[in-house]
Structure 1
Amino acid sequence: MEHKVWRHLLKREIPLYNINRTKNHAGSISEFVQLELTIGDYVEVVELLVTDLGPEEVILGLPWLRKVNPDIDWRAGLMNIKVEEEEEVKEDGAEVEEWYQRIIGNRQQRRKWWKEGILENTTDELWVAAGVTYSAELAYEESKKKEKQSMEDIEESHHLPEHKPYDYTIDLKPDASEMIQSKVYPMSVNEQRELDQFLEENLWKGYIVPSKSPMASLVFFVKKKDGKL
């Protein structure tokens, strides 16, 4: 308990991202607190997610401002919230429903959390605007360059170098196949499946082309540690 506020565990942790879509250094959000928010005569019970906000204590975002619709004097830096009297609906002396404001810290995944039952609705009530230092921004841009280069290397590895203007063929003598002794070896179903997959993949990559040779090439298989080919 910090600042005399009890922390409660969430049913599931919520991954927290910065405004540039990188993961926040504070990690996922796993706790929330229930507080009575008082601004002048305005009082509201809210649930706040617990995370590292740097020098800030609490961030109330644009959705919250839309809900309370305060009068703001931007020049003076003052905010006034009108308090409307509401009748409390009771049944047998008890409140029918006690409503708590639900807040989340990541707009992109709110619909997913709603489908999984983590959130009661898809309306976000709090945004975490994490600042980024110049060095952190440079590191992020460098990681993007490395990721792009890695993807380009993978894409390039799927194809052979560009063909030259001339491709040379090796023509065999008409009776060449009769002069070479060869034998046909039977294959199991698994071996034939792996061979077909290998040929299809490498034809697509351009590593091999259909052969016109009357003679076949030998193939062999090496089993992996798990026993598969």
Structure 2
Amino acid sequence: MRLTVFGGCGAWPAAGQACGGYLLEQDGFRLLVDPGYAVLPRLLEVVDAAAVDAVVVSHGHPDHCADLNPLLRARALSDEPPAALPVYAPAGAVDAVLALDSMRAMSRAVEPVVLTDGGRVRVGPFDVTSALLPHHLPNLGVRITDGAGTLTYSGDAGPDAALVELARDADLLLVEATYPHAVPDEDAGLLCSAVQAAEQAAAADARRIMLTHLWPGLDPATFVAAAERTGATNVSVAAPGAAQPIGS
């Protein structure tokens, strides 16, 4: 599979940036993961809106799903609307986004599919396993494999044994690291620092780490340095436009 990154900001997109948004491609199938703020314009630089085959949303915070709305508009209002877009998400996670539009065309543009804790679904060429991870809202981390490579994505989550198991021997752990060194008390256990993200990757024996959901305005190099001080190697950040193969 091939990963393309559209953004890696948490909370809101910094100038010239986007919140998290990730495209996985294999055998012509395109899976979009967490279309947050400002993701759609970057997606459209790569593929047409109608070319997206499915969407996975980890949880209902808008920096992870707000651009589902303009994606569906771009599809529903085109001259030749494509088939309804399957959107895999925890129960209720995208209800607020879908409620933004009352146009009849929008109701036909989406096919909601509920993801569950411990669930396994086949999405095109991908096997997707989901696990509930600790956050302010119900959040499902996902393990996505095509048989040749495995990517684990945390969504937003604090350190947790379930994340370690989800990332076991993954080729890439795409992991939230909102803060470089320490998580404030109000978010403790519900978000990760870069240090904690690296520790989770080491416990899982993940081969590479990509830090995402970075606090806007902070230097990404600070996050990489914090992770590397744990002894981690192969650390990168989710930079817009980054593209790489996952697995063999």
TM above 0.5? no
**Max radius of gyration: which structure?**
1
The TM-score, its normalising length taken from structure 2, stands at: 0.19
Relative contact order higher in (CA < 8 Å, ≥ 6 apart): 2
